[in-house]
Amino acid sequence: MKTFNTLKFAILGSGYIGQAIVKGFIATGKISVNQIIITRRNVQLLKSLAQRRFVTQTDNCDAVRKTDVIIIAVQPKQLNNLLSEIRCELSPNKHIIISVVSGVSSSKIIKHIGKKILVVRAVPTTTIALLESMTCIASKNAPNDTLQTTKALFDLVGETTIIDEEQMISC
């Protein structure tokens, strides 16, 4: 895994939690604006981020092609369509998916993608923008080094704990 300052991030679905993640990452000083691509169906709602020099766009496939870590922050009802859209761009040798989509297991995401892609679920709090998140992470298929990298990423914006995915319901 690359270091944080060399990774490229895609935030797919930049509503409230997606934007909070972006703001938190930038506030750490460890991740820069030019490392992040932010997508949303209505890109006009990202105007304030675009004015701060973030790359904002509607093209999820393009964002996936250009990045290493894919953070999925869409509503649960939007997830299957998004996964179908980006599936052909995902590379098991390149990408890690971090899903902050509530109520959807990593197993369901892996099954829908149909590739051996690493998927980590993360449940951050909205205080992530203030660097005060308490984030739970879990995965069914990610090796320990991927979990530790994900933990280190979210530790930048608060505290993080690794749990069994079955415990995600209580987070």
**What is the identity of the amino acid at 120?**
V
Token pair for residue 45?
Answer: 């709602």
Where does residue 111 rank: exposed (0-12), middle (13-18), buried (19+ CB within 10 A)? exposed
CA distance 123 to 29: 22
Q: What is the pLDDT of residues 35-63, one digit of tens each?
A: 999 999 888 887 888 898 999 999 999 99
Q: What is the pLDDT of residues 101-143, one digit of tens each?
A: 999 999 999 999 999 999 999 999 989 989 999 999 999 999 9
Question: For the chain, which domains are there?
Answer: 9-165 (3.40.50.720)
CA distance 21 to 120: 15
